[in-house]
Structure 1
Amino acid sequence: MSHIVLNPLLQYSQHDLPGGNRCRIKWDLRQPPCSSAQLIESDQTLSDTELAQHATHPPLNTLQIICGVLPFEWPIIAQNPTGVTIADVLQAIHQTVMVQIKQNEYDALSLKQRNRIAQIFDTRWRASLEPRTIWSFGVLRVDCLLNHTIFAGLTMTIEGTDACIVSLRRVN
Protein backbone atom coordinates (compact mmCIF):
# COMPACT_ATOMS: atom_id res chain seq x y z
CA MET A 1 0.00 0.00 0.00
CA SER A 2 1.11 3.54 -0.64
CA HIS A 3 2.05 5.97 2.10
CA ILE A 4 -0.87 8.30 2.94
CA VAL A 5 -0.04 11.82 4.09
CA LEU A 6 -2.52 14.24 5.66
CA ASN A 7 -2.92 17.76 4.30
CA PRO A 8 -0.71 20.07 6.41
CA LEU A 9 -3.78 22.15 7.37
CA LEU A 10 -5.28 19.10 9.12
CA GLN A 11 -2.14 17.65 10.71
CA TYR A 12 -1.81 17.48 14.48
CA SER A 13 1.45 18.95 15.76
CA GLN A 14 3.20 17.97 18.98
CA HIS A 15 4.55 21.51 19.14
CA ASP A 16 2.55 24.58 20.08
CA LEU A 17 1.52 26.68 17.14
CA PRO A 18 0.35 30.30 17.54
CA GLY A 19 -2.33 30.68 20.21
CA GLY A 20 -1.48 27.33 21.79
CA ASN A 21 -3.05 25.46 18.87
CA ARG A 22 -1.87 22.02 17.77
CA CYS A 23 -3.19 22.37 14.23
CA ARG A 24 -3.22 25.16 11.63
CA ILE A 25 -7.03 25.17 11.73
CA LYS A 26 -8.79 26.80 14.69
CA TRP A 27 -12.32 25.45 15.06
CA ASP A 28 -14.82 24.72 17.82
CA LEU A 29 -16.78 21.58 16.89
CA ARG A 30 -19.99 23.16 18.20
CA GLN A 31 -19.92 25.67 15.32
CA PRO A 32 -20.56 24.94 11.61
CA PRO A 33 -17.12 24.37 10.11
CA CYS A 34 -17.50 26.15 6.79
CA SER A 35 -18.49 29.42 8.48
CA SER A 36 -16.25 29.29 11.55
CA ALA A 37 -13.05 27.28 10.90
CA GLN A 38 -10.13 29.69 10.67
CA LEU A 39 -6.46 29.57 9.79
CA ILE A 40 -4.43 30.36 12.90
CA GLU A 41 -1.94 32.42 10.89
CA SER A 42 -4.55 34.95 9.76
CA ASP A 43 -7.67 34.45 11.91
CA GLN A 44 -9.51 34.41 8.57
CA THR A 45 -12.23 31.87 7.86
CA LEU A 46 -10.99 29.09 5.60
CA SER A 47 -11.48 30.03 1.95
CA ASP A 48 -13.39 27.87 -0.51
CA THR A 49 -10.04 27.01 -2.09
CA GLU A 50 -8.63 25.79 1.23
CA LEU A 51 -11.80 23.83 2.05
CA ALA A 52 -11.67 22.18 -1.40
CA GLN A 53 -8.12 20.87 -0.91
CA HIS A 54 -7.80 17.11 -0.63
CA ALA A 55 -7.48 15.92 2.96
CA THR A 56 -4.85 13.33 2.03
CA HIS A 57 -2.21 12.59 -0.54
CA PRO A 58 -2.91 10.50 -2.45
CA PRO A 59 -6.61 11.41 -2.31
CA LEU A 60 -8.89 8.86 -0.63
CA ASN A 61 -12.58 8.33 -1.41
CA THR A 62 -13.29 7.44 2.24
CA LEU A 63 -11.57 8.51 5.44
CA GLN A 64 -12.55 7.04 8.78
CA ILE A 65 -12.00 9.41 11.73
CA ILE A 66 -11.64 7.95 15.20
CA CYS A 67 -12.45 9.98 18.33
CA GLY A 68 -11.38 8.22 21.51
CA VAL A 69 -12.95 10.90 23.72
CA LEU A 70 -16.53 10.02 22.80
CA PRO A 71 -18.12 7.51 25.20
CA PHE A 72 -19.52 5.34 22.39
CA GLU A 73 -18.30 4.26 18.97
CA TRP A 74 -20.13 6.77 16.85
CA PRO A 75 -18.61 6.38 13.38
CA ILE A 76 -17.18 9.48 11.73
CA ILE A 77 -16.70 8.85 8.03
CA ALA A 78 -15.81 11.46 5.42
CA GLN A 79 -16.62 10.39 1.87
CA ASN A 80 -16.22 11.94 -1.55
CA PRO A 81 -16.00 9.99 -4.83
CA THR A 82 -13.48 12.52 -6.21
CA GLY A 83 -11.34 12.50 -3.05
CA VAL A 84 -12.15 13.55 0.53
CA THR A 85 -11.57 17.28 1.04
CA ILE A 86 -10.87 19.38 4.12
CA ALA A 87 -14.52 20.50 4.03
CA ASP A 88 -15.66 16.85 3.92
CA VAL A 89 -13.58 16.02 7.01
CA LEU A 90 -14.78 18.99 9.06
CA GLN A 91 -18.40 18.45 8.00
CA ALA A 92 -18.28 14.72 8.86
CA ILE A 93 -16.98 15.50 12.34
CA HIS A 94 -19.55 18.25 12.88
CA GLN A 95 -22.48 16.17 11.62
CA THR A 96 -21.51 13.26 13.86
CA VAL A 97 -21.21 15.27 17.08
CA MET A 98 -24.33 17.37 16.52
CA VAL A 99 -26.66 14.34 16.73
CA GLN A 100 -28.96 13.91 19.72
CA ILE A 101 -27.78 11.21 22.11
CA LYS A 102 -30.22 8.28 22.38
CA GLN A 103 -31.90 7.61 25.70
CA ASN A 104 -30.36 4.13 26.00
CA GLU A 105 -26.89 5.64 25.41
CA TYR A 106 -27.50 8.28 28.06
CA ASP A 107 -28.77 5.64 30.49
CA ALA A 108 -25.62 3.54 29.89
CA LEU A 109 -23.39 6.37 31.18
CA SER A 110 -22.36 6.51 34.82
CA LEU A 111 -24.15 8.94 37.12
CA LYS A 112 -21.00 11.08 37.25
CA GLN A 113 -20.82 11.23 33.44
CA ARG A 114 -24.53 12.08 33.15
CA ASN A 115 -24.17 14.89 35.71
CA ARG A 116 -21.17 16.39 33.91
CA ILE A 117 -22.89 16.14 30.52
CA ALA A 118 -26.06 17.69 31.96
CA GLN A 119 -24.02 20.66 33.21
CA ILE A 120 -22.50 21.17 29.75
CA PHE A 121 -25.94 20.87 28.12
CA ASP A 122 -27.45 23.39 30.57
CA THR A 123 -24.66 25.85 29.92
CA ARG A 124 -24.98 25.41 26.14
CA TRP A 125 -28.72 25.94 25.88
CA ARG A 126 -28.85 28.79 28.41
CA ALA A 127 -26.10 30.70 26.56
CA SER A 128 -27.70 30.34 23.14
CA LEU A 129 -29.61 33.04 21.30
CA GLU A 130 -32.58 30.66 21.04
CA PRO A 131 -32.56 28.75 24.35
CA ARG A 132 -35.95 27.04 23.92
CA THR A 133 -35.02 25.74 20.49
CA ILE A 134 -31.63 24.47 21.65
CA TRP A 135 -33.19 22.92 24.78
CA SER A 136 -35.78 21.13 22.62
CA PHE A 137 -33.01 19.35 20.68
CA GLY A 138 -31.84 17.77 23.94
CA VAL A 139 -28.40 16.46 24.83
CA LEU A 140 -26.13 16.15 21.81
CA ARG A 141 -23.08 13.98 21.31
CA VAL A 142 -20.95 17.14 21.45
CA ASP A 143 -22.09 17.60 25.07
CA CYS A 144 -20.38 14.26 25.83
CA LEU A 145 -17.06 15.86 24.89
CA LEU A 146 -17.52 18.15 27.90
CA ASN A 147 -15.09 21.04 27.35
CA HIS A 148 -12.93 19.23 24.76
CA THR A 149 -14.52 20.77 21.68
CA ILE A 150 -11.56 22.48 20.00
CA PHE A 151 -10.20 20.71 16.92
CA ALA A 152 -6.49 19.96 17.40
CA GLY A 153 -5.81 18.09 14.17
CA LEU A 154 -5.64 14.59 12.75
CA THR A 155 -3.02 11.85 12.89
CA MET A 156 -3.00 8.91 10.48
CA THR A 157 -3.21 5.51 12.16
CA ILE A 158 -1.16 2.68 10.62
CA GLU A 159 0.52 3.23 7.29
CA GLY A 160 -1.66 2.11 4.41
CA THR A 161 -5.00 2.47 6.20
CA ASP A 162 -7.77 4.93 5.52
CA ALA A 163 -8.24 5.88 9.20
CA CYS A 164 -7.00 8.73 11.33
CA ILE A 165 -7.42 9.89 14.91
CA VAL A 166 -8.86 13.29 15.74
CA SER A 167 -7.28 15.17 18.61
CA LEU A 168 -9.29 17.64 20.65
CA ARG A 169 -8.36 20.17 23.27
CA ARG A 170 -10.19 22.07 25.98
CA VAL A 171 -11.91 25.37 25.41
CA ASN A 172 -9.79 28.11 26.98
Structure 2
Amino acid sequence: MYKVLVSACLMGRKVRYDGGAKTSEHPVLERWRAERRLVPHCPEIAGGLPVPRPPAEIAGAAGAEAVLDGAAAIVTPEGADVTDHFVAGARAALETAWSQGVRLAVLKDGSPSCGSRAVYDGSFSGAKVPGQGVTSYLLSDSGIPVFTEDELDAAEAFLKDLEAREPEVPFL
Protein backbone atom coordinates (compact mmCIF):
# COMPACT_ATOMS: atom_id res chain seq x y z
CA MET A 1 0.00 0.00 0.00
CA TYR A 2 1.49 3.32 -1.09
CA LYS A 3 1.92 6.09 1.45
CA VAL A 4 0.85 9.73 1.26
CA LEU A 5 2.87 12.58 2.73
CA VAL A 6 0.45 15.06 4.30
CA SER A 7 0.91 18.46 5.93
CA ALA A 8 0.84 17.88 9.67
CA CYS A 9 -1.42 20.91 10.17
CA LEU A 10 -4.11 19.21 8.04
CA MET A 11 -4.03 16.31 10.50
CA GLY A 12 -4.81 18.61 13.42
CA ARG A 13 -1.28 19.16 14.67
CA LYS A 14 -0.73 22.68 15.97
CA VAL A 15 2.43 23.40 13.98
CA ARG A 16 1.49 26.48 11.95
CA TYR A 17 3.33 29.75 12.43
CA ASP A 18 0.51 31.05 14.66
CA GLY A 19 0.41 27.89 16.79
CA GLY A 20 -2.75 26.65 15.13
CA ALA A 21 -3.80 23.82 12.86
CA LYS A 22 -5.84 23.67 9.66
CA THR A 23 -7.53 20.37 10.43
CA SER A 24 -9.23 18.64 7.53
CA GLU A 25 -11.94 16.08 8.14
CA HIS A 26 -12.29 15.21 4.47
CA PRO A 27 -13.47 11.61 4.00
CA VAL A 28 -10.46 10.77 1.82
CA LEU A 29 -8.03 11.76 4.57
CA GLU A 30 -10.10 9.90 7.14
CA ARG A 31 -10.04 6.76 4.98
CA TRP A 32 -6.30 7.05 4.37
CA ARG A 33 -5.75 7.55 8.10
CA ALA A 34 -7.69 4.35 8.84
CA GLU A 35 -5.63 2.53 6.20
CA ARG A 36 -2.43 3.84 7.83
CA ARG A 37 -1.26 5.44 4.58
CA LEU A 38 -0.60 8.92 5.95
CA VAL A 39 2.85 10.24 6.79
CA PRO A 40 2.25 13.58 8.57
CA HIS A 41 5.11 16.04 8.18
CA CYS A 42 5.71 19.73 8.82
CA PRO A 43 8.72 20.92 6.86
CA GLU A 44 8.97 24.14 8.85
CA ILE A 45 9.27 22.24 12.12
CA ALA A 46 11.64 19.72 10.48
CA GLY A 47 13.74 22.70 9.35
CA GLY A 48 14.13 23.88 12.93
CA LEU A 49 11.54 26.65 13.22
CA PRO A 50 9.62 27.01 16.50
CA VAL A 51 5.88 27.20 17.17
CA PRO A 52 4.72 29.91 17.21
CA ARG A 53 6.98 31.83 14.84
CA PRO A 54 6.70 34.94 12.70
CA PRO A 55 5.00 34.47 9.34
CA ALA A 56 7.32 34.16 6.36
CA GLU A 57 6.97 34.69 2.63
CA ILE A 58 9.15 34.33 -0.46
CA ALA A 59 10.56 37.81 -1.03
CA GLY A 60 9.46 39.51 -4.22
CA ALA A 61 7.30 36.54 -5.24
CA ALA A 62 10.50 35.13 -6.73
CA GLY A 63 9.36 31.51 -6.56
CA ALA A 64 10.58 28.30 -5.01
CA GLU A 65 13.08 27.47 -7.73
CA ALA A 66 14.85 30.79 -7.13
CA VAL A 67 14.92 30.07 -3.39
CA LEU A 68 16.43 26.63 -3.92
CA ASP A 69 18.97 28.08 -6.37
CA GLY A 70 20.02 30.67 -3.76
CA ALA A 71 18.73 33.59 -5.84
CA ALA A 72 15.82 34.49 -3.54
CA ALA A 73 15.08 34.47 0.17
CA ILE A 74 12.22 33.61 2.50
CA VAL A 75 11.83 36.39 5.03
CA THR A 76 9.69 37.48 7.99
CA PRO A 77 7.87 40.85 8.08
CA GLU A 78 10.83 42.23 10.06
CA GLY A 79 13.21 41.13 7.29
CA ALA A 80 14.78 38.16 9.07
CA ASP A 81 16.06 35.62 6.55
CA VAL A 82 14.67 32.15 7.37
CA THR A 83 15.53 30.59 4.01
CA ASP A 84 17.89 27.98 5.45
CA HIS A 85 15.12 26.62 7.71
CA PHE A 86 12.68 26.30 4.82
CA VAL A 87 15.24 24.65 2.53
CA ALA A 88 16.31 22.21 5.27
CA GLY A 89 12.65 21.39 5.93
CA ALA A 90 12.01 20.78 2.22
CA ARG A 91 14.97 18.41 2.05
CA ALA A 92 13.74 16.63 5.20
CA ALA A 93 10.30 16.23 3.62
CA LEU A 94 11.83 14.68 0.51
CA GLU A 95 13.96 12.32 2.61
CA THR A 96 10.90 11.34 4.65
CA ALA A 97 8.93 10.71 1.47
CA TRP A 98 11.65 8.51 0.01
CA SER A 99 12.20 6.56 3.22
CA GLN A 100 8.47 5.92 3.74
CA GLY A 101 7.60 4.89 0.18
CA VAL A 102 5.46 7.97 -0.43
CA ARG A 103 4.05 8.27 -3.95
CA LEU A 104 2.08 11.52 -3.59
CA ALA A 105 1.68 14.43 -1.20
CA VAL A 106 -1.25 16.48 0.06
CA LEU A 107 0.03 19.82 1.30
CA LYS A 108 -1.60 22.97 2.71
CA ASP A 109 -1.70 25.52 -0.07
CA GLY A 110 -0.39 29.04 0.37
CA SER A 111 2.70 28.65 2.50
CA PRO A 112 6.29 29.21 1.35
CA SER A 113 6.82 25.52 2.19
CA CYS A 114 3.70 23.66 1.19
CA GLY A 115 1.96 25.88 -1.34
CA SER A 116 1.51 24.01 -4.59
CA ARG A 117 -0.83 26.25 -6.58
CA ALA A 118 -0.37 29.65 -4.91
CA VAL A 119 1.91 31.30 -2.37
CA TYR A 120 1.86 34.67 -0.66
CA ASP A 121 3.62 37.32 -2.75
CA GLY A 122 6.21 38.50 -0.22
CA SER A 123 4.47 41.78 0.62
CA PHE A 124 2.72 40.46 3.76
CA SER A 125 -0.48 42.04 2.44
CA GLY A 126 -2.38 38.76 2.07
CA ALA A 127 -1.97 38.80 -1.71
CA LYS A 128 -1.16 35.50 -3.41
CA VAL A 129 0.53 34.67 -6.69
CA PRO A 130 0.54 31.42 -8.64
CA GLY A 131 3.47 29.24 -7.66
CA GLN A 132 4.88 26.66 -5.31
CA GLY A 133 6.54 26.66 -1.93
CA VAL A 134 9.99 25.08 -1.60
CA THR A 135 8.78 21.73 -0.24
CA SER A 136 6.09 21.39 -2.87
CA TYR A 137 8.55 22.30 -5.61
CA LEU A 138 11.24 19.90 -4.39
CA LEU A 139 8.76 17.01 -4.08
CA SER A 140 7.16 17.56 -7.48
CA ASP A 141 10.55 18.12 -9.13
CA SER A 142 11.58 14.74 -7.69
CA GLY A 143 8.57 12.96 -9.19
CA ILE A 144 6.16 13.07 -6.24
CA PRO A 145 2.91 14.74 -7.34
CA VAL A 146 1.56 17.34 -4.91
CA PHE A 147 -2.12 18.04 -4.34
CA THR A 148 -3.73 20.72 -2.18
CA GLU A 149 -6.24 20.10 0.58
CA ASP A 150 -8.91 21.13 -1.95
CA GLU A 151 -7.84 18.43 -4.43
CA LEU A 152 -8.31 15.34 -2.28
CA ASP A 153 -10.73 13.66 -4.68
CA ALA A 154 -8.19 14.07 -7.50
CA ALA A 155 -5.44 12.78 -5.19
CA GLU A 156 -7.51 9.72 -4.40
CA ALA A 157 -8.17 9.08 -8.10
CA PHE A 158 -4.44 9.42 -8.82
CA LEU A 159 -3.56 6.94 -6.07
CA LYS A 160 -6.17 4.40 -7.22
CA ASP A 161 -4.91 4.65 -10.79
CA LEU A 162 -1.31 4.30 -9.62
CA GLU A 163 -2.07 1.20 -7.57
CA ALA A 164 -4.01 -0.34 -10.46
CA ARG A 165 -1.05 0.23 -12.82
CA GLU A 166 1.78 -0.48 -10.36
CA PRO A 167 0.75 -2.92 -7.64
CA GLU A 168 3.15 -2.69 -4.74
CA VAL A 169 5.45 -5.69 -4.48
CA PRO A 170 6.11 -6.74 -0.87
CA PHE A 171 9.69 -7.09 0.27
CA LEU A 172 10.80 -10.66 0.71
**What is the TM-score of this pair, normalised by structure 2?**
0.28
Larger Cα-atom Rg: 1
